[in-house]
Amino acid sequence: MDLPSSPIRRLAALATAAEERGVHVHHLNIGQPDLAPPPEVEAALASAPQIRLAYAPSRGIASTLDAWVAYYRRYGIEVERDDLLVTAGASEALSLAFLTTCDPGDEVLVPEPYYAPYKGVVAISGVHLVPVPLGPGYAPPAAEAFRDRLTDRTRAILLCSPNNPTGTVYTRDDLLAIGGFARDHGLFLLSDETYREIVFDGPPATSALALPGLEDHVVVIDSLSKRFNMCGARIGSFVSRNQDVMRAALELAELRLSVPAIEQHAAGAALTSAPNYLTQLVDTYRSRVGTVVNGLANIPGVDVRRPDGAFYVVPTLPVDDADRFAAWMLSDFAVGGETVMVTPMSDFYGSPGLGKREVRLACIIHEADLSRVIDILRVGLDGYPGRDA
Amino acid sequence: MDLPSSPIRRLAALATAAEERGVHVHHLNIGQPDLAPPPEVEAALASAPQIRLAYAPSRGIASTLDAWVAYYRRYGIEVERDDLLVTAGASEALSLAFLTTCDPGDEVLVPEPYYAPYKGVVAISGVHLVPVPLGPGYAPPAAEAFRDRLTDRTRAILLCSPNNPTGTVYTRDDLLAIGGFARDHGLFLLSDETYREIVFDGPPATSALALPGLEDHVVVIDSLSKRFNMCGARIGSFVSRNQDVMRAALELAELRLSVPAIEQHAAGAALTSAPNYLTQLVDTYRSRVGTVVNGLANIPGVDVRRPDGAFYVVPTLPVDDADRFAAWMLSDFAVGGETVMVTPMSDFYGSPGLGKREVRLACIIHEADLSRVIDILRVGLDGYPGRDA
């Protein structure tokens, strides 16, 4: 099988080459934060040598399932163990979502721009992503925008809120409108809620699990990676009250036998950790994102808006081609021995030609370094031969 | 998508019900040994709280890749880091093997009986398994047996040596003959070597990686689960010298980002542990398998042969239907409050109607308990209403 090619892989080679030349590359290209997990995780891992390395149940270890149930209850969401499956990160949950709700050749509607790796995951399942444009300022699309792209192969709508890359947060009303449309047309609503708590003004984002009357339609894809800074633990969850979906997901999960026992143990500790960890996390990202947005807003020709959540900033740059600019920053540019690796946005669109002047910056380093990044980008944009404004 | 249904799931519910009635069920149905991992693993896990829970490289952590390279070198197999990918167990390696070598609709030849979950993994990839009969006494098939089933959709041959479930060990000559056939017909040779060291008479099984002239054809699926008793760590490897295959596998691996960091650390310790661990492991299974084979041979009507490797015994029982017998042992039988859960073999065949009187016993409990299991089976076979010999 062939996966869609990605400009991101080409850039990784250029970054390695720059580092081999001795250039310090600020990696703002990947959502791998520099923060530590909750202290409860380190404490739980002290018992790692005593954990029996036996197959865990395919659905997940009972205490980890219970920790997920307790975590959702904090947000007023009542789910049972049977509505849950512990997964190897959001990646596996996504893959299960496509495999359990779609057949090869089916279509899934997804607002664009969207998280680029969705493309590869659907390719494995033989499913097609059909992009639906976001509104101005990356606002959630109205239900009509989905209607325009409905065919007899449409099986699901895939949302991500707070959104990677745009930071869009879908309100309860947005979700009710889109969810109602999904129900009316017999579609599943696949909801990637990896960044749930990271909302800058107001409470955590509404979960699709909180929508009344959509119990048979909603599948939530979740992950501990970002909210608890444990990307490398690869623990997520797959949640649905639709028992046909859950049965099919469990059968697929049985093929991989289990998710690693030690990380499930650590996940239980994270999920039941003190809530002030998340409050501090949001404060950190609010401040970092503010620094980046304000810094970019002061660079002539750059157009930027403050995201509502997650930890990415997506400016439009005064360049001919963001792919080329990102490559040039790594291959032909450095200031004071430093440069910045950004992610061009073209790969986050399904419609060809869009996002040509946009880049994504992940605010996953210290604020002082982020200020330095802004300075480097300013000098880079000044010197870039393809400048276009 | 629909997965093939399995009688094994139905039996699991019966076992749970028996346990709820207070019956002690000896679980010989799953390859989850009772042995401890090498002591080096426990020592390595003491540093778990200090391991940064960041995304590991998608190919694997450098030290874990190097530990795999050093492990293969023990067997005279020279591979480079670029020939390897650390996987989430053999399950992920298998799935990558099908996705990188086949398109949906393609066919893979596999000697039957074979490891039942292969069916579900290929179903996800849209690939068809075409069974090829083993010879008498579960002997490796001759190359001609593969030729008879070759079509223009055949892409690969899938072997497992030492074999789960039959214990068949393919000699170097067997592999050269089948490998030569694969090369002549432009097929991949997918080799599941999970049980490599567990061979009762002689050295570890020959790896397909050791075959000359097959560098572009061989893909090895490997796992630490059985040889180091760390099923719950979910660490395996995917190995090929075919760089097109490795590139495709890495692209797929990038979609799941990484394999958990802590388990990779533990895997490095296991792979570089003292070799006498494996010697003792083989001694243990040789002795256990001997106990079970000798015990079964003394039950009238039971036909059993000693396997050459792995840790399963597959007797033919004097019953009308092994599925029914296995269910009856759980639902309607107990002696001294005990019973045995065995795996009926029908699910390990692709050809309908085969294996009706065979069961698989995993020798994964203490020898005293295995002797008790034999006694229980003897009484069970005596009382079973569908006895047929």
ipTM reported for the complex, 2 dp: 0.92
* Across B37-57, average pLDDT: 95
Query: For residue B389, what pLDDT band results from cuts at 50, 70 and 90?
Result: low
The pLDDT value recorded for residue A389 is: 65
CB distance A262 to B262 below 8 Å: yes
The pLDDT value recorded for residue B33 is: 87
Give the whole-angstrom CA distance, residue A306 versus residue B227: 53
Instruction: Give the position of tokens 């099923």.
Output: B231
- Kindly state whether A368 is in contact with chain B, defined as any CB-CB distance less than 8 angstroms: no
> B377 pLDDT exceeds 80?
yes
Instruction: Give the position of tokens 């089933």.
Output: B149
> A107 pLDDT exceeds 70?
yes
The pLDDT value recorded for residue A201 is: 96
Q: How far is CA A327 from CA A166, A342, A371, in A?
A: 22, 9, 21
Instruction: Give the position of tokens 């039959």.
Output: B166
The pLDDT value recorded for residue A128 is: 96
> B3 pLDDT exceeds 90?
no
pLDDT, tens only, B228-239: 999 999 999 999
The distance from CA A294 to its chain's CA centroid, rounded to whole angstroms, is: 23
**ω into A260 cis (within 30 of 0):** no
Give the whole-angstrom CA distance, residue A83 versus residue A99: 17
> A311 pLDDT exceeds 80?
yes
Average pLDDT, chain A: 95
pLDDT, tens only, A137-181: 999 999 899 999 999 999 999 999 999 999 999 999 999 999 999
The distance from CA A337 to its chain's CA centroid, rounded to whole angstroms, is: 31
Tokens of A340: 């910045």
CB distance B262 to B48 below 8 Å: yes
pLDDT, tens only, B174-210: 999 999 999 999 999 999 999 999 999 999 999 999 9
Q: Which of residues 219-248 of A touch B (CB under 8 A)?
A: 229-234, 248
* Across B153-166, average pLDDT: 98
- Please compute Rg for chain B using Cα positions: 21
The pLDDT value recorded for residue B42 is: 95
* Across A38-56, average pLDDT: 94
Average pLDDT, chain B: 95
* Across A42-68, average pLDDT: 95
pLDDT, tens only, A192-220: 999 999 999 999 999 999 999 999 999 99
> A2 pLDDT exceeds 70?
no
The pLDDT value recorded for residue A388 is: 82
Give the whole-angstrom CA distance, residue A346 versus residue A181: 29
> A12 pLDDT exceeds 80?
yes
Q: How far is CA A210 from CA A100, A365, B301, in A?
A: 21, 33, 60
Partner-chain contact B124 A255, CB within 8 Å: yes
Pick the residue of B115, B122, B255 with the most A CBs within 10 A to test the interface with A by mutation: B255
Q: How far is CA A365 from CA A214, A262, A360, A372, B273, in A?
A: 39, 28, 14, 11, 38
The pLDDT value recorded for residue B388 is: 82
Coil, strand, or helix at residue B168? Answer: coil
* Across B326-343, average pLDDT: 97
Q: B76: phi > 0 → left, psi -120 to 50 → alpha, else beta; which?
A: left
- Kindly state whether B203 is in contact with chain A, defined as any CB-CB distance less than 8 angstroms: no
Q: Which of residues 42-71 of A touch B (CB under 8 A)?
A: 42-43, 45-46, 48-49, 51-56
Percent above pLDDT 90 for chain B: 94
- Kindly state whether A117 is in contact with chain B, defined as any CB-CB distance less than 8 angstroms: yes
Give the whole-angstrom CA distance, residue A219 versus residue A242: 8
Give the whole-angstrom CA distance, residue A340 versus residue A378: 11
CB distance A87 to A96 below 8 Å: yes
> B2 pLDDT exceeds 90?
no
Partner-chain contact A30 B266, CB within 8 Å: no
DSSP state string for A124-164: HHT-EEEEEE--GGGPPPPHHHHHTT--TTEEEEEEESS-T
CB distance A162 to A198 below 8 Å: yes
Nearest CA among B344, B284, B287 for reference residue B316: B344
Give the whole-angstrom CA distance, residue B302 versus residue B388: 11
Query: Is the pTM of the predicted complex or chain greater than 0.90?
Result: yes
The pLDDT value recorded for residue B32 is: 85
The pLDDT value recorded for residue A5 is: 64
